Amino acid sequence: MRLSVKAHVIEWVISPCLICFAVLFCIFPASALSRVIVDDMVALKGQKVMLRAETRGKLFSKGGELVEFFVDRESIGKTLSGGDGVAFKAFIPAKTGLHQIRVSSGGDEDTGLLLSLKRGSSIVFVDIVGCLLEGPFSRKPRQESQKVIKELHKRFPVVLLQRGFFSVRAIRAWLKENEFAELPVVPWRRGAIFDEIAQKDLRVKAIVAGPKVIESARKHKPLAFSFKAVEDAEWVKDWEEIRKKLK
């Protein structure tokens, strides 16, 4: 009897998780596994940055793989991934703006972005899950979001935040599919990204996000906008309102 009860409890807990995972996989079907994945990054012009890529087997990270790094189509060298599957390559951005990073390993490749900025530059952060998706289980982007993001990108450095179950590679594919501007996608990591930005003498100018993300950035005192009622943030009804407020 006890085993039967335990089985029902386990089934009750696991089933919603499996359903949730299946739904998320359908939202971002491009999350198929890759042999190599490169991170998007934010760096200071003229300062060394360690580009990072991860090599994988069928399911898990795989070390000892040769990885070649390219920046703006030029090779900057090869290196082996460590036991944790991570490979690093030093690079010093000589100019500000977006640099395209490409890595190749074992016949597979991935591309990413390096955003190079001057000290004191201000960044607008956008929470993808909380503000670009129309709903928690929707593939559709919020109305006017593509147009407004492109316009903001012309005036400010814009960085997109990854959180939840979605891989960066899957998110990149969804952004491209929905014709968003090509922008760096970095992990939120419960707000650690904002502390790292501050340590580089960069500012969090504004954040468009859900409650948890806004809370994690509060000490940096950015302008904050949300589609939900959040303490210390301005409630907005649509992206057009955000565009007007960030002139």
Whether pLDDT at 2 is above 50: no
Give me 101's structure tokens. 């990073």
Please check whether the domain covering 122-245 is classified as CATH 3.40.50.1000: yes
Contact (CB, 8 A) for 46 and 94: yes
Q: For residue 128, how many C-alpha atoms fall within 13 Å in the half-sphere facing its CB?
A: 28
Report the percentage of the chain scoring pLDDT > 90: 76
pLDDT average, residue stretch 114-128: 98
Choose the weakest-confidence range: 63-72, 140-149, 167-176.
Answer: 167-176
Whether 4 has a pLDDT exceeding 70, the answer reads no
Side chain identity, residue 239: W
Q: Which of 47-61, 68-82, 92-106 has the lowest mean pLDDT?
A: 47-61
pLDDT over 70 at 40, yes or no: yes
Locate CATH 3.40.50.1000 in the chain: 122-245
pLDDT over 60 at 186, yes or no:
yes
Q: Which helix (H) or strand (E) holds 91?
A: strand 86-91
* pLDDT tens, position by position, 193-221: 999 999 999 999 999 999 999 999 999 99
- Average pLDDT, integer, range 67-76: 98
Listed in order, the ranges of the chain carrying CATH 2.60.40.10 are: 36-117
Name the pTM for this structure.
Answer: 0.85
Q: Please state the separation of Cα 245 from the chain's center in Å.
A: 24
The more confident residue out of 17 and 84 is 84
Range with lowest mean pLDDT among 61-75, 82-96, 129-143, 171-185: 129-143
Lowest mean pLDDT among 13-27, 93-107, 178-192: 13-27
Q: Are 43 and 199 in contact (CB under 8 A)?
A: no
Q: What CATH code would you report for 36-117? A: 2.60.40.10
Instruction: Read off the tokens for 29.
Output: 């079907």
| 22: pLDDT strictly greater than 80 | no
User: Quick one: residue 199, left, alpha or beta (phi over 0 = left, psi -120 to 50 = alpha)?
Assistant: alpha
Mean predicted lDDT score pLDDT of the chain: 87
